[in-house]
């Protein structure tokens, strides 16, 4: 019971299958090329010597980059094997296994750069890297049946258990960068070994209780915000927290692992805390694109409604972590609001992280680019064009693994119901108690809102289809009722076919003026997409446009390049009637550098 895994789902032609093809053919080869150049894979050989001044030392996070590359490929290999890709990955795994210490420890940085500092410095990503290696090992084992990397991470986890839970001789009690928590729950489910769940539970429950972990070095906290207890979600035990604080990726990885633990433990107090944190994010600390993390300096959440558009950090990895958190909360309570949020992030703040051609990436995803303003108001701003590589290159393989496994977001089940959460054309086959369920979803979405569902084997069950927050009305071929944001259809026979059509139109939405930077503005939304205006399509400056909010008829035109609609929005330009051309947010900055605005003046 729970969310139906992507391995049970086959995507059909459409928006996301196209993206998966691009990921296989363009994105992962581009990432591989960049990682070869940046010595990510070479680091697994552990041949670096300190006296080799001409070589770059492996960084503390290199293992995580390599692991996400393996994991992304594994999800694609689960659908279609690729001997060349497997041979390359097997070589990486051979290196890792060869260089693992007899006691189980492995880290490409610490083994050769700082062997005397193992598990002494909390901010240094050791357990974070192990978490990603665990996820990669499980994914690769599921896809290929090969278990060498799985053996590596199990031995490593046994060493972690000894050091952290038994001997307790480490310099900290839980990781500075969460990730291992959710990975350990996956490893518990994959192997059935209780000790891995106990480790996850320990790391979740001990966080915020140990004075030594609260910023690691309190004397530096005022000078170094990266060591502050709020930055690392250490200021209170997690079950006592009510707001999203600190580094946004770390936070949502932590909340995801905590939700996994709370579900299994039936920890209602922790679940309540996590729901409060989620509501704080969505209602007060999230951009309309689903992006999170407003502060650039610490890549962190800011105070309520502090959401600057031009300096928005909104890391691509943060969008992914929010999807992970929301999807887990859907297992706590089957409410469509979580799937609505996932859809918003998927089609906007997440997807903007990769170029249309698939070989360039954003680390940050701003909501405004104004080159003239940047010259006047000096300071740090996000880059205006996607790049092929970054010195900190966590986002590209993370984007790849999310796209490769997007099928896991489509369907879910509980004891009596099958849920359709995302409108991605696909088929799925899975067990539901003693029944084998086959379901098919046909749709041209996002081109239109028509769905055709065929289901077999679900007699006596209910089919629950999300009624999206952007729909103004719907029609269905069968009678249904509405429940927690879902349309509920009773399945009274073994085979059933249901057709649904959602009505929706481009909408001009006044900005929430609790966000001071957005006072007097509005934004445009059509279905799941947030829209932007780019200078390349319009007059300059974009700040001289004002959208006529009284207008209801916005012209749309289908774009095969975007697999979405472009819009023509009635406006004024310097007090004269004009048309503002807008494209989906995810597609901005694909035609060179250009000014860009999500929020436009309203009139």
C-alpha 348: how far from chain center: 11
Confidence label for 215 from pLDDT (cuts 50, 70 and 90): low
The Cα-based distances of 87 to 84, 93, 247 in angstroms read: 5, 10, 36
Determine how β-strand 368-369 pairs with β-strand 9-11. unpaired
Q: How confident is the model at residue 218 (pLDDT cuts 50, 70, 90)?
A: very low
What CA–CA distances, in Å, run from 301 to 297, 321, 601?
11, 13, 26
Whether 600 and 521 have beta carbons less than 8 Å apart is answered as yes
Position 162 pLDDT exceeds 90:
yes
Averaged confidence pLDDT in the chain: 95
Which whole number is the average pLDDT over 184-204?
98
pLDDT at 214 over 90: no
Comparing CA positions, the residue from 336, 244, 331, 332 lying closest to residue 283 is 244
The closest alpha carbon to 600, from 563, 536, 548, 528, belongs to 548
Do 249 and 321 form a contact (C-beta atoms < 8 A)? Answer: yes
> Between residues 420 and 433, which one has the greater pLDDT?
420
- In whole angstroms, give the CA distance from residue 90 to residue 99: 14
**Cβ atoms within 10 Å of 154's Cβ, excluding its own:** 19
Token digits of residue 512: 């929430």
By the 8 A CB rule, do 293 and 299 touch?
yes
Bridge partners, residue 576, by sequence: 573
Sign for the pseudo-dihedral over CA of 333, 411, 530, 482: negative
Token pair in block for residue 85: 């890709």
- CA dist 541 and 602 (Å) reads 15
Bridge partners for 532 per DSSP = 583
Instruction: Pick from 114-123, 251-260, 374-383, 552-561 the range whose average pLDDT is largest.
Output: 251-260
Q: Which of 88, 110, 106, 102 is nearest to 41 (CA)?
A: 88
pLDDT score of 224 more than 80: no
Q: Is 220 a residue whose pLDDT tops 60?
A: no
pLDDT at 230: 86
State the Cα–Cα distance between residues 421 and 330, nearest whole angstrom.
Answer: 10
Rounded Cα–Cα distance for residues 545 and 240 (Å): 46
Distances (CA, A) of 279 to 34, 272, 322: 38, 11, 12
The backbone region for 246, taken as left when phi is positive above 0, alpha when psi lies in -120 to 50, beta otherwise, is left
Q: What is the mean pLDDT of residues 294-299?
A: 90
Helix then strand then coil, % of the chain, to nearest 5? 40, 20, 40
> In this structure, how many other beta carbons lie within 10 angstroms of the beta carbon of residue 158?
16
Give the pLDDT confidence of 343-367 residue by residue, as tens digits.
999 999 999 999 999 999 999 999 9
* Look-up of token digits 């969310």: 3
For 130-151, what is the mean pLDDT? 98
Find tokens 């900190």 and name the residue.
Answer: 392
CB contact set of 205 (below 8 Å; sequence gap of 6+): 237, 238
CB-CB contact of 165 with 216 (8 Å): no
> Is residue 498 within 8 Å of 476, Cβ to Cβ?
yes
Mean pLDDT, residues 39-56: 91
- Look at residue 54 in the predicted model and tell me its pLDDT: 82
pLDDT over 90 at 389, yes or no: no
pLDDT score recorded for residue 210: 81
How far is Cα 2 from Cα 68, in angstroms, rounded to an integer? Answer: 24
Cis peptide before 446 (omega within 30 of 0): yes
Phi-psi map region of 192: left, alpha, beta (phi>0 left; psi -120 to 50 alpha): left
**Angle between helix 248-265 and helix 316-332 axes, rounded to 10 deg:** 20
Distances (CA, A) of 396 to 91, 294, 522: 21, 20, 31
Q: Which residues of 396-407 are buried (b: 16+ CB within 10 A; e: fewer)?
A: bbbbbbbbbbbb
Nearest to residue 134, comparing CAs of 120, 116, 145, 150?
Answer: 150
Confidence tier at 392 by pLDDT (50, 70, 90): confident
- In whole angstroms, what is the distance from residue 214 CA to residue 208 CA? 7
- Nearest of 69, 44, 61 to residue 126 by alpha carbon: 61
Lowest mean pLDDT: which of 22-36, 120-134, 324-338, 369-383? Answer: 369-383
Q: Which domains are seen in the chain, by residue range? A: 38-206 (no CATH), 237-406 (no CATH), 411-503 (2.60.420), 507-602 (no CATH)
The Cα 396–Cα 66 span in angstroms is 11
Cα gap 464→411, rounded to integer Å = 10
Q: Report residue 56's pLDDT band, with 50, 70 and 90 as the boundaries.
A: confident
| Residue-level pLDDT at 26 | 98
Number of H helices, E strands in the chain: 14, 22
pTM over 0.95: yes
For residues 466 and 574, what is the distance between their CA atoms, to the nearest angstrom? 42
Q: What percent of the chain has pLDDT over 70?
A: 97
Confidence category of residue 219, pLDDT binned at 50, 70, 90: very low
* Per-residue model confidence (pLDDT) at position 216: 47
β-pair partners for 6: none
Which residue matches tokens 């996994």? 260
What DSSP character marks residue 517?
G
pLDDT at 212 > cutoff 90: no
Highest mean pLDDT: which of 181-195, 205-219, 224-238? 181-195
SS (H, E, C) 570-593: EEEECCEEEEEEEEEHHHCCCCCC
Residue 56, Cβ neighbours under 10 Å: how many?
11
Mean pLDDT of 335-349: 98
Judged against a pLDDT cut of 70, whether residue 205 lies above it is answered with yes
**CB contact set of 376 (below 8 Å; sequence gap of 6+):** none
């Amino acid at each position: 019971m729970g969310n139906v895994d992507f391995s049970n789902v086959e995507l059909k032609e459409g928006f996301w299958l196209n993206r998966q093809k691009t990921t296989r053919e363009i994105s992962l080869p581009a990432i591989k090329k960049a990682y070869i150049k940046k010595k990510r894979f070479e680091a697994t050989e552990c041949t670096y010597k300190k006296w080799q001044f001409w070589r770059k030392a492996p960084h503390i996070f290199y293992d995580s980059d390599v692991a996400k590359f393996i994991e992304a490929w594994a999800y694609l290999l689960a659908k279609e094997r690729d001997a060349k890709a497997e041979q390359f990955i097997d070589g990486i795994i051979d290196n890792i296994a060869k260089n693992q210490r007899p006691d189980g420890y492995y880290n490409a940085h610490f083994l050769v750069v700082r062997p005397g500092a193992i598990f002494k410095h909390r901010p240094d990503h050791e357990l974070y890297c192990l978490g990603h290696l665990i996820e990669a090992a499980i994914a690769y084992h599921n896809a290929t049946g090969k278990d060498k990397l799985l053996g590596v991470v199990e031995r490593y986890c046994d060493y972690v258990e000894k050091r952290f839970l038994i001997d307790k001789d480490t310099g900290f009690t839980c990781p500075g960068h969460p990730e291992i928590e959710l990975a350990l729950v996956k490893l518990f489910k994959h192997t059935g070994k209780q000790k891995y769940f106990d480790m996850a539970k320990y790391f979740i429950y001990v966080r915020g209780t140990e004075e030594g972990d609260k910023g690691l070095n309190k004397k530096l906290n005022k000078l170094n915000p990266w060591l502050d207890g709020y930055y690392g979600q250490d200021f209170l035990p997690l079950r006592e927290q009510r707001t999203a604080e600190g580094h946004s990726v770390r936070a949502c990885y932590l909340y995801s692992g905590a939700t996994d633990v709370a579900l299994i433990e039936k920890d209602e107090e922790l679940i309540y805390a996590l729901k409060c944190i989620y509501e704080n994010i969505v209602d007060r600390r999230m951009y309309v694109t689903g992006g999170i993390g407003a502060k650039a300096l610490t890549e962190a959440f800011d105070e309520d409604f502090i959401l600057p558009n031009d300096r928005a950090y909104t890391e691509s990895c943060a969008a992914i972590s929010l999807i992970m958190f929301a999807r887990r909360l859907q297992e706590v309570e089957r409410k469509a609001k979580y799937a609505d949020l996932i859809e918003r992030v998927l089609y906007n703040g997440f997807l903007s992280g990769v170029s249309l051609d698939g070989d360039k990436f954003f680390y940050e995803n701003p909501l405004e680019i104004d080159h003239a303003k940047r010259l006047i108001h000096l300071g740090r701003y996000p880059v205006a064009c996607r790049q092929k590589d970054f010195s900190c290159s966590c986002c590209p393989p993370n984007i790849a693994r999310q796209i490769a496994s997007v099928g896991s977001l489509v369907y879910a089940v509980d004891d009596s119901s099958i849920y359709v959460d995302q409108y991605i054309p696909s088929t799925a086959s899975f067990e539901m108690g003693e029944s084998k369920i086959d379901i098919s979803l046909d749709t041209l979405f996002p081109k239109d809102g028509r769905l055709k569902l065929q289901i077999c084997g679900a007699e006596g069950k209910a089919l629950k289809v999300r009624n999206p927050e952007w729909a103004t009305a719907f029609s269905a071929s069968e009678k249904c009722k509405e429940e927690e944001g879902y349309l509920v259809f009773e399945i009274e026979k073994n085979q059933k076919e249901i057709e649904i059509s959602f009505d929706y139109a481009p909408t001009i939405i006044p900005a929430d003026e609790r966000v001071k930077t957005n006072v007097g503005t509005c934004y445009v939304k059509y279905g799941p997409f947030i829209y932007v205006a780019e200078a390349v399509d319009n007059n300059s400056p974009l700040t001289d446009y004002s959208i006529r909010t009284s207008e209801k008829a916005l012209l749309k035109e289908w774009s095969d390049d975007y697999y979405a609609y472009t819009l023509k929005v009635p406006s004024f330009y310097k007090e004269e009637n004009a048309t503002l051309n807008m494209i989906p947010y995810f597609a901005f900055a694909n035609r060179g550098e250009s000014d860009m605005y999500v929020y436009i003046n309203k009139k």
